[in-house]
């Protein structure tokens, strides 16, 4: 088996271990946030920051049926990794461990959703963001790797890719994001086709 074959083999093998029921549970949590006009926040560091930005793009744009129709009900979603001036200002003033928590203090409310993406499950700034979300009675979802770290024990829902290889952890998290966003799009399109929601987002 060459390097590429081994890489793909390990990725596929460990993806098979992921609890598929939890994927739909998380999709349904996010659909409920969409129905109820709740805000979705996404956080992560490094490669997980890239996944955070990508998932915010896919939820915000990729779930739309008629992107040119401003009346279509949309996800209220933001990645907290994307404002470089704010990230550097907060890091300089109160430390990098607080860059996500401080942003959440400004915005998060009861019933909102925080998605925490972390390979180790031990990133201090992610843990502090989760604690703020808990204080505000938000729902917390995590994409994790290896053994899930500390985050596994303090969130409401999680998907775990059980391997310490960071490249494949990030591959898996990107797959989780794409799978969930695609599934949500299909579910929302069914709801809209059944006439359960007006385009303005008002439930019948």
pLDDT in tens, 71-128: 888 999 999 999 999 999 999 999 999 999 999 999 999 999 999 999 999 999 999 9
DSSP state of 152: G
Residue 203 has pLDDT above 90, yes or no: no
* 3-class state of residue 42 by DSSP: strand
* Structure-block tokens of residue 111: 């019933």
* 181 CB-side CA count, 13 A: 23
Q: By C-alpha distance, which of 76, 81, 1 is closest to 35?
A: 76
Spatial separation of the C-alpha atoms in residues 203 and 14, rounded to whole Å: 40
Domain limits of the chain?
22-65+74-193
Kindly tell me the burial class for residue 129, based on how many C-beta atoms sit within 10 Å of its own C-beta (0-12, 13-18, 19 or more): buried
pLDDT in tens, 12-66: 999 999 999 999 999 999 999 999 999 999 999 999 999 999 999 999 999 988 8
Q: Are 144 and 151 in contact (CB under 8 A)?
A: yes
pLDDT at 195: 64
Residue 149 has pLDDT above 60, yes or no: yes
Question: pTM of the entire structure?
Answer: 0.94
Whole-number Cα distances in Å, 166 to 18, 37, 146, 163 = 16, 34, 9, 8
Pick the CATH number of 22-65+74-193 from 3.40.50.10490, 1.10.599.10, 3.40.50.2300, 3.40.640.10: 3.40.50.10490
Q: Are 48 and 170 in contact (CB under 8 A)?
A: yes
């Amino acid at each position: 088996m060459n390097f590429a074959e081994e890489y793909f083999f390990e990725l596929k093998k460990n993806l098979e271990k992921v609890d598929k029921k939890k994927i739909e549970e998380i999709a349904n949590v996010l659909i409920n946030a969409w129905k109820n006009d709740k805000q979705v926040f996404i956080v992560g560091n490094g490669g997980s920051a890239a996944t955070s930005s990508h998932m915010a793009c896919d939820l915000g744009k990729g779930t739309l049926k008629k992107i040119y129709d401003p009346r279509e009900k949309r996800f209220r979603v933001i990645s907290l990794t994307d404002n470089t001036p704010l990230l550097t200002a907060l890091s300089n003033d109160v430390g990098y461990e607080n860059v996500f928590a401080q942003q959440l203090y400004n915005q998060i409310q009861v019933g909102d959703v925080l998605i925490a993406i972390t390979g180790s499950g031990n990133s201090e700034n992610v843990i502090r963001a989760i604690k703020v979300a808990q204080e505000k009675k938000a729902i917390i979802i995590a994409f994790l790797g290896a053994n899930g770290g500390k985050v596994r024990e303090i969130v409401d829902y999680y998907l775990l890719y059980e391997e310490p290889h960071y490249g494949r952890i990030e591959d898996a998290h990107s797959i989780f994001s794409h799978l969930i966003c695609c599934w949500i799009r299909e579910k929302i399109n069914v709801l809209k086709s059944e006439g359960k929601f007006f385009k303005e987002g008002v439930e019948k």
